[in-house]
Amino acid sequence: MSLELRDIHKHFGPVRANDGISLTIEGGTLHGLLGENGAGKSTLMKILSGFYAPDGGEILLDGELIRPSSPRDAIAHGIGMLHQDPLVFLPFTVVDNLLLASPGGSRLDRRKARQELGEMCERFGFTLDPNSLVRTLTVGERQQLEMVRLLWLGARVLILDEPTTGISAPQRLKLFETLRTLAAEGMSVIFVSHKLEEVDELCERVTVMRQGQVVGHAEMPCPSERLVEMMFGSAVEIEGREPIDLGDPVLEIDRLTVNERLLSLDNLDLEIRAGEVVGLAGLEGSGQQTLLRACSGLRSADGGSIAIDGADLTAADYAGRLANGVQFLPAGRLEEGLITGLTLTEHLVLGDPNTPFFVDWDRAEGAAAETITANFIKGRPASTADQLSGGNQQRLLLAMLRPGLRLLLMEHPTRGLDIESANWVWGQLLARRTDGTAILFASADLDELLRYSDRILVFFAGRVIAELDADITDVEQLGFLIGGKVRDAQ
Amino acid sequence: MIQFRSLLRSLTPVGGALAVAVLLILLVGESPFAALWAIVDGGVGNVSRFGDTLTAWTTLSLAAAGLAITFTAGLWNIGVEGQVIAGAIAASFVAREIAAPTPVMVVLTLLAGFAGGAVWALLAGLLKVKGKVNEIFGGLGLTFVAISLSTYLIIGPWQREGIASTSGTDPFPGNAWLPTWGDLRVSVVSIVVAVAALGTVYVLLRGTRFGLRLRAVGQNLQSSALFGIANTRYLLAAFMLGGGLAGLAGAIRVTGFYHKLVPGPGGGHGYLGILIILLAAYKAKWIAPIAFFFAVVAVGASQLPLRLQIDASLGGIVRSVLVLFVLLAGGWQARRSAIGQRRATEEVEA
């Protein structure tokens, strides 16, 4: 079963998620698809598996043109996708999950399904009890169930999106062994990842994507340096930062523990001093977001303490910490930062802590017009936040940062901005250091991390695996560490 | 041109509802014009009917004004009927237990009504924010409790002397009646209260920090939290203010209309308030005219069976069909504006 993609295009508004992608995947191979967050891998795989319709381009399966119109249609063609969070029905039993999507009449043959499930489990060495509720299964077991279901439905091309997130080491070995077996039987396996080590271990060929395009192919084994360079681009010259004298500690985190479903922060210690900029690197969901949310009070700590300027604020919620000079700039601009339907003027009035009870709308509108000009926002005082483009939404959020902050927490502060705007934004942010503001930010942009941080913490699976001095680190070393390759980088 | 189009858009559902009403009347073999005239004449035809219509207008307006606050906060306060009843019960308690001159009684019964409605709404609010019970279910449940409570009081502790009757308690002492002038059956007090409530809600939602924050809470709880707004406090405040206004409506129902406590004293005015605020697109400034239309239809439709072979429920059908048509038109516009949204973005960018 060979698969060919020809000139696939997919746009989301102005964002070119897939920009002319051509790719051939031979039957019986384990094909890796590498790229950092936002490179367009998931979009491409969702097109292939029928979740999205492409804006242009062709998909050929064994030389025959297909147009998967839905996941159901895709699996009928033999293309099945295993999602990062397995799409299973938690309150159903294992066998009912299998039967739910089965084609055919309305009669359910549980006995036959149970028997076939047993045969497949035996073949791959899985231990799935057909009668247990999926809710009680581990993420790894849910993944096994989903894989069995796709194969049972006749999948001949199997797409796995970041399948090793949240599963145990033995389950990972079992998964890889299964994938090798399937490939040996002639199945095409597409393994989507940004973990170099796993691609190294498993795949025979690798395609690297960056910014919606294919930047290169490689036969494995291949030196990791080459893959890193393809993923992140060649190292950019890093300008020196204006040096600044660091002040007293602003943020003191002592043995912070936060437990989440797929990930835990465990006994994390961190100290940030006034005027210091600390960058958080790592794959999306490796713990950076959890740390930022715990610092902001949006996520409560399960253990340990967080102090600002020596005052213990572990129990304070976001409003309480905001009053103490902590502000958070989220990545989901319209989801958790701005408010759909409210105008720019109304946002600026909301964000101003000195707004009187009776709002003088004429004056507020004038002030909003000034803020809009001063921050180069493309919009009018009466435009609603959802009418702005992503970059302008970000400028609006930045314009609402309060003066005299002690600690500024940010996720992807310049995502969606062009280089010039990003430089301007960082100029404004770094100027706050002279007032003693400490900055803690997460970013997927390695250049941004290296250029503006004093220190960089690299997260991998909830742990800080390295703490780097940004002055003596380069893109390559950082790329290795983000991929979880500690030894090679040192 | 654009204004003409938007006028046409808002009149389309009214025309649709009228057409359905005409069709129904023709089906039962009566003249649509005679029916329409019976409703209008029955609603505003003479001083006493006009007074009844105005009294209904005050309670409908108060309930809808309260709902403007809760809807702004993103809450489906379906329990408003129960809050009207709780206000009526609290006002009845004061009217029965306290003896004082009329001005004092008016103030006390209204305050009691506000407090009763606010407490009843606060219960629904606490169920929502503390118990994660959706306000629709909590509110409906509490409405049944309030109805049962009013019935229990009437046949139990507050039963009429010597007569076991579900028709209501003994009439309140005269001092507890809302004062009226001459033949007019509406009290100036209730009109002043309703107008003041509408004005206050309008200013509160449009011109204050509180109103703006309430809108933020209603639109996006996550974003509003990042603006440092204490969501829980604002949600509970919206419940209490909205419920308080509904409670005022309940107090006016018992002290200005029935002059006693009857079972289910809300008379459905809380539920009608929901239809009014939906028609008003949650805007306080449209409540007064729409509530007046509802009041005319409610009072006037009672004339239908007296003059023609038509049941009074026709008024309810016309009202409900109108609301359905308006909601349909609203949904259709929302679909169209998704296209307009993209154009607006491009315009802003340009």
Other C-beta atoms lying within 10 Å of the C-beta of residue A472: 7
Phi-psi region of A40 (alpha: psi -120 to 50; beta: other; left: phi over 0): left
B345 contact residues in A (CB cutoff 8 A) = 387-389
What pLDDT sits at residue B1? Answer: 47
Measured CA distances, A306 to A272, A411, A461, B121, B188 (Å): 12, 19, 22, 38, 59
* Sequence-ordered strand ranges (E) for A274-394: 277-281, 303-308, 311-312, 326-329
CA distance B331 to chain A (A): 17
CA distance A265 to chain B (A): 23
Whether residue B264 contacts residue B150, with contact meaning beta carbons closer than 8 Å, is answered with yes
Which residues in B304-321 are b (16+ Cβ under 10 Å) and which e? Answer: beeebebebebbeebbeb
Residue range B176-220, pLDDT digits in tens: 899 887 777 888 999 999 999 999 999 999 989 999 999 999 999
Task: For helices B80-97 and B269-279, give the axis angle rounded to 10 degrees.
Answer: 140
B212 with A379: Cβ contact below 8 A: no
**Number of continuous H segments (helices) and E segments (strands) in chain B:** 14, 0
Residue of B nearest to A342 (CA): B216
Q: Which residue has the higher pLDDT, A370 or B180?
A: A370
| Percent of the residues in chain B that have a pLDDT greater than 90, as a whole number | 52
What pLDDT sits at residue A346? Answer: 95
**Facing A339 at nearest CB: one of B208, B220, B348:** B220
What pLDDT sits at residue B10? Answer: 65
Mean pLDDT for the stretch of residues A271-276: 93
What pLDDT sits at residue A364? Answer: 94
Mean pLDDT for the stretch of residues A50-62: 90
A389 with B208: Cβ contact below 8 A: no
B79, B114, B124, B78: which is closest to B94 by C-alpha? B114
Q: What is the pLDDT of chain A when averaged over all its residues?
A: 86
* Token pair 């009437």 in the structure block, residue: B154
Measured CA distances, A356 to A401, A403, B128, B209, B212 (Å): 19, 18, 30, 7, 12
A357/B contact by beta carbon, under 8 A: yes
A386 contact residues in B (CB cutoff 8 A) = 341
What pLDDT sits at residue B343? Answer: 53
Q: Is the pLDDT of residue A120 over 80?
A: yes
Distance between CA A385 and CA B227 in Å, rounded? Answer: 15
- What is the band of A488 on the pLDDT scale with cuts at 50, 70, 90? very low
A322 contact residues in B (CB cutoff 8 A) = 228
- What is the band of B278 on the pLDDT scale with cuts at 50, 70, 90? confident
What pLDDT sits at residue A236? Answer: 44
Two tokens, residue B261: 């406590």
B105, B116, B36, B127: which is closest to B255 by C-alpha? B105
What pLDDT sits at residue A438? Answer: 95
- What is the band of B17 on the pLDDT scale with cuts at 50, 70, 90? confident
A380 contact residues in B (CB cutoff 8 A) = 348
What pLDDT sits at residue B159? Answer: 86
B345 with A335: Cβ contact below 8 A: no
Highest-confidence segment of A131-140, A323-332, B21-30, B334-343:
A323-332
Residue range A292-346, pLDDT digits in tens: 999 999 888 999 999 999 999 999 989 899 999 999 998 878 888 899 889 999 9
What pLDDT sits at residue A409? Answer: 95
φ, ψ dihedrals at B341, nearest 5°? -55, -45
What pLDDT sits at residue A237? Answer: 44
B207/A contact by beta carbon, under 8 A: yes
- Which residues 210-229 in chain B show a CB within 8 A of chain A? 210, 212-213, 215-216, 219-220, 222-229
Residue range A186-242, pLDDT digits in tens: 899 999 987 787 888 899 999 999 888 898 898 888 887 788 888 877 544 445 566
A298 contact residues in B (CB cutoff 8 A) = 225-226
Whether residue A449 contacts residue A456, with contact meaning beta carbons closer than 8 Å, is answered with yes
A387 with B344: Cβ contact below 8 A: yes
Q: Which of A289, A317, A318, A339 to mutate to test the interface with B (most CBs of B within 10 A)?
A: A339
Q: Which residue has the higher pLDDT, A52 or B107?
A: B107
What pLDDT sits at residue A437? Answer: 93
What pLDDT sits at residue A48? Answer: 92
Whether residue A284 contacts residue A162, with contact meaning beta carbons closer than 8 Å, is answered with no
Q: Which of A333, A338, A350, A409 to mutate to test the interface with B (most CBs of B within 10 A)?
A: A350
What pLDDT sits at residue B193? Answer: 96
**Facing B219 at nearest CB: one of A341, A357, A388:** A341
CA distance A103 to chain B (A): 34
B345/A contact by beta carbon, under 8 A: yes
Q: Is the pLDDT of residue B345 over 90?
A: no
Strands A438-442, A407-411: pairing is parallel
Q: What is the pLDDT of chain B when averaged over all its residues?
A: 87
ipTM: 0.83
Mean pLDDT for the stretch of residues A369-386: 90
- What is the band of A490 on the pLDDT scale with cuts at 50, 70, 90? very low
What pLDDT sits at residue A272? Answer: 94
Flag the least confident range among A187-201, A343-357, B108-122.
Answer: A187-201
Tell me the one-letter amino acid at B197.
A
B345 with A389: Cβ contact below 8 A: yes
Distance between CA A195 and CA A360 in Å, rounded? Answer: 54
Residue range B77-99, pLDDT digits in tens: 999 999 999 999 999 999 999 98
B344 contact residues in A (CB cutoff 8 A) = 383, 387
A103/B contact by beta carbon, under 8 A: no
A448/B contact by beta carbon, under 8 A: no
Q: Is the pLDDT of residue A472 over 70?
A: yes
* Token pair 């004056």 in the structure block, residue: A363
A336 contact residues in B (CB cutoff 8 A) = 220, 222-223, 226
Flag the least confident range among A10-19, A116-125, B40-49, B60-69.
Answer: A10-19
Mean pLDDT for the stretch of residues A121-137: 85
